[in-house]
Structure 1
Amino acid sequence: MPKAWPLGLRIPAARIPPKRGPVCAGPHGRSDCPTHITATPKAPGAQTQPSLADSFPDLLCLAAEDCLIASEAPWTITDAELRVTLIVEGQMSIAITVMLIIHNYWFLYIPYLTWLYFDWHTPEQGGRRSSWIKNWTLWKHFKDYFPIHLIKTQDLDPSHNYIFGFHPHGILAAGAFGNFSTNYSDFKELFPGFTSYLHVLPLWFWCPVFREYMMSIGLVSVSKKSVSYVVSKEGGGNISVIVLGGAKESLDAHPGKSTLFIRQRKGFVKIALTHGASLVPVFSFGENELFKQVDNPEGSWIRTVQDKLQKIMGFALPLFHARGVFQYNFGLMPYRKAIHTVVGRPIPVHQILHPTEEQIEELHQTYMEELTKLFEEHKGKYGIPEHETLVLK
Structure 2
Amino acid sequence: MKIEFAPLNIPLRRRLQTAAVLQWIFSFLAMAQCCLAAFVLLLLSDWWMLALLYASWLWLDWDTPCSGGRRSHWVRTWTVWDYFRDYFPITLVKTVDLDPKQNYIFGFHPHGVLVAGAFANFCTESTGFSRLFPGLKSHLLMLPFWFRVPVFRDYIMCGGLVSSSKQSLSYLVSHPDGGNVAVIAVGGAPESLDARPGALKLQVRNRKGFIKLALKHGAQLVPVFSFGENELFDQMDNPTGSPLRTLQNRLQSVMGVAMPLFHARGVFQYSFGLMPYRTSIHTVVGKPIPVSQICSPSNEDIDRLHAVYLQSLSDLFEQHKHDYGITVDKHLTFI
| TM-score of the pair, normalised by structure 2 | 0.94
After TM superposition, give the deviation of residue 71 of structure 1 in Å.
7.0
Task: Report the Cα offset of residue 260 of structure 1.
Answer: 0.3
**Does the alignment pair 1:308 with 2:242?**
no
- Does residue 1:74 correspond to 2:15, yes or no? yes
Structure 2 counterpart of 1:335, from 268, 272, 277: 277
Q: CA 1:159/1:217 → structure 2, altered by over 3 Å: closer, same or farther?
A: same
Distance 1:285 1:212 in 2: 30
Aligned equivalents of 1:302, 1:71: Cα separation in 2: 40
Q: Distance in 2 between matches of 1:103 and 1:311?
A: 36
Give the drift of 1:104: 5.7
CA–CA distance in 2 between the matches of 1:147 and 1:106?
44
Partner of 1:103: 45
Pairwise CA distance, 1:106? 4.4
Deviations 1:37-83 (A, max 9, x none): xxxxxxxxxxxxxxxxxxxxxxxxxxxxxxxxx87332333546413
The answer to whether structure 1 residue 158 and structure 2 residue 149 are counterparts is no
| Match of residue 209 from structure 2 | 267
The alignment status of 1:229 with 2:220, answered yes or no, reads: no
Distance 2:65 2:29 in 1: 18
- Give 3-state SS (helix, strand or coil) of 2:167's partner: helix
Q: 1:214 aligns with which of 131, 140, 156?
A: 156
TM norm structure 1: 0.80
Find the residue that maps to 2:13 and give its secondary structure.
Answer: coil
Equivalent residue, structure 1, for 2:222: 280
Shift of 1:364: 0.7
Measure the CA separation in 2 of the matches of 1:327 and 1:338: 20
Whole-Å separation in 2 of the counterparts to 1:218 and 1:360? 28
The alpha carbon displacement at 1:88 in A equals 2.7
| Corresponding residue of 1:374 | 316
With over 3 angstroms needed to count, the CA separation of the structure-2 counterparts of 1:329 and 1:105, relative to structure 1, is: closer
Is the 8 Å Cα contact of residues 79 and 172 (structure 1) preserved in structure 2?
no
Which secondary structure does the structure 2 equivalent of 1:355 belong to? coil
Q: Given the alignment of the two structures, is residue 205 of structure 1 paired with residue 147 of structure 2, yes or no?
A: yes
Unpaired stretches in structure 2, ≥5 consecutive residues:
1-6
Letter in 1 for 2:9: P
Q: Give the fraction of aligned pairs with identical amino acids, expressed as a percent.
A: 55
Q: CA deviation at 1:367?
A: 0.4
Cα distance in 2 for partners of 1:347, 1:324 equals: 42
Question: Shift in Å at residue 103 of structure 1?
Answer: 3.3
Asked if structure 1 preserves the Cα contact closer than 8 Å seen for 2:43 and 2:49, the reply is: no
CA distance in structure 2 between the partners assigned to 1:168 and 1:188 by the alignment: 23
Distance 1:79 1:331, change over 3 A: same
Relative to structure 2, which stretch is displaced further, 79-88 or 316-325?
A: 79-88
Q: 3-state SS of the aligned residue for 2:284?
A: strand
Tell me how far apart the structure 2 counterparts of residues 308 and 244 of structure 1 sit (CA, whole Å).
20
- Aligned equivalents of 1:140, 1:110: Cα separation in 2: 37
Cα deviation, 1:81-105, whole Å, max 9, x if unaligned, reads 4132344332222222222333363
RMSD over aligned CA atoms reads 1.6
Aligned to 1:145: 87
1:18 to 9, 12, 16: 9
- Give the structure with the larger helix fraction: 2
Alpha-carbon distance in 2 for matches of 1:325, 1:84: 13
SS of structure 2 residue aligned to 1:75: helix
CA distance in structure 2 between the aligned counterparts of 1:259 and 1:110, rounded to whole angstroms? 46
Distance 1:349 1:159, change over 3 A: same
Q: In the alignment, is the contact (CA less than 8 A) between 1:79 and 1:174 conserved in 2?
A: no
Structure 2 residue identity aligned to 1:74: R
Aligned to 1:391: 333
Larger radius of gyration: 1
User: In 1, Cα distance between the equivalents of 2:131 and 2:275?
Assistant: 30
Matched residue, 2:116: 174
